[in-house]
Structure 1
Amino acid sequence: MYTTEILEKNHKNIMRMTAVVKKMCVGIIEGKEVDVEDFVAFCDFASSYGDQYHHMKEENFLFPEMIAKLKGHAEMMIEKGMLVDHNLGRAHIMSLRNALNDYQEEPTSYNKLLILTQAMGYVDVLESHILKENNVLFPYANKDLPESSQTMLDEMTKSFEKRMEDQGVIKKYLYILEKLENKYQ
């Protein structure tokens, strides 16, 4: 299904960003200064690309259709697993933004620790979340959703992707990703 293919493609980009964030965090542990601007760019990527662009497709398109058509296990996986992970990721990003603000006001080791804790908390949640979706949820949707549902989801996803491309959203966040990847190779 096109929808899950696009979602998995998004996951690859999110995983590329989590690899960058790990390098940013290791750098701090090794004594480098906290580059607040780079962490803010990561937060923007996580909120805009990861959440508003990627999770929006899951939460507004795929998940409701799976719950409506597949019920039971799909509903449990989505409501008690996927949506919980999405909210945990959001909480880590909000806390990371707060930690960055605190660090700018008072650049202490404690505030560095808060940055590392929230950044790596996000990485941990999202990496395990992506594995669950790619290996369990998406194959389940591809196998068990009726063809009519898959066709409808694909049309909605294509329309949304075109709109995001026309608005330059995808290009903007892939540029941020590539810029950070190049800096933290």
Structure 2
Amino acid sequence: MSAIQLMVDEHKNIKRMLGVIRKYCFKVLKNEDVDYKDFYKIIDFVRNYADKHHHGKEEDYLFNRMIEEIKGPAEKLVRQGMLVEHDFGRLYMQNLEKALIAFEKGEEEAKLDIIANAIGYTDLLYRHIEKEDDVVYKFAERSLSKETLEQLDADCEKVEEEAKEKGIQDKYLNLINELESKI
């Protein structure tokens, strides 16, 4: 499988978690029974699967190669677009974690920040994924040399194998299934 197709497939998993996040937030909004500890599981997924595992491949391999080989338009797209959005996603997760801690300390109003940051993240990521799938990845496939794409495939396959040995993919796909079963 090509690295680009792998990243598109990972986006499908991430979008499943975005659906979970939205449903959890709706339960909070309706004041339904919610296991707030599940939000920590969501943060773990975002930080370790969506960000470290998936964004790691983009940032360490794909985006760097786009900047080096394509230059101008790729550099602007990556540095002023994709990387900025990755950082906004990280900020949403930091703020979500702070809100959860405040809620655990009895600050009922922190529910607003839980919903705001979780929904902000989902909105950002849905749009981000659409841009990557429809624009960035296709631009990379059209513009990078065959050799660069082959090296990208090899590098990402190595990352996947190392992650598989650690059980990363199974852990986080099982987590999605677990949380989907609760909503």
Superposition TM-score tier, normalisation by shorter sequence: over 0.9
What's the TM-score, normalizing by structure 2?
0.98
Q: Secondary structure at the match of 2:32?
A: coil
Aligned partner letter, 1:84: V
Equivalent residue number for residue 90 of structure 2: 90
Equivalent residue number for residue 116 of structure 1: 115
> Contact between 1:65 and 1:149, CA under 8 Å: does it hold in 2?
yes
Equivalent residue number for residue 48 of structure 1: 48
> Contact between 1:34 and 1:112, CA under 8 Å: does it hold in 2?
no
Q: Which runs of 5+ in 1 are unaligned?
A: none
Distance 1:94 1:142 in 2: 33
Equivalent residue number for residue 70 of structure 1: 70
Distance 1:48 1:173 in 2: 9
Equivalent residue number for residue 61 of structure 1: 61
Shift, 1:107, TM fit? 4.1
Distance 1:135 1:175 in 2: 28
> Contact between 1:36 and 1:100, CA under 8 Å: does it hold in 2?
yes
Shift, 1:61, TM fit? 0.4
Distance 2:64 2:175 in 1: 31
Aligned partner letter, 1:43: I
Aligned partner letter, 1:116: I
Answer yes or no: is 1:149 the counterpart of 2:134.
no
Aligned partner letter, 1:79: R
Aligned partner letter, 2:127: S
Alignment of 1:102-181 (within 5 A): 102-108=102-108, 110-181=109-180
Distance 1:31 1:101 in 2: 18
| Aligned residue-pair number | 183
Q: State the percentage of identical aligned residues.
A: 36
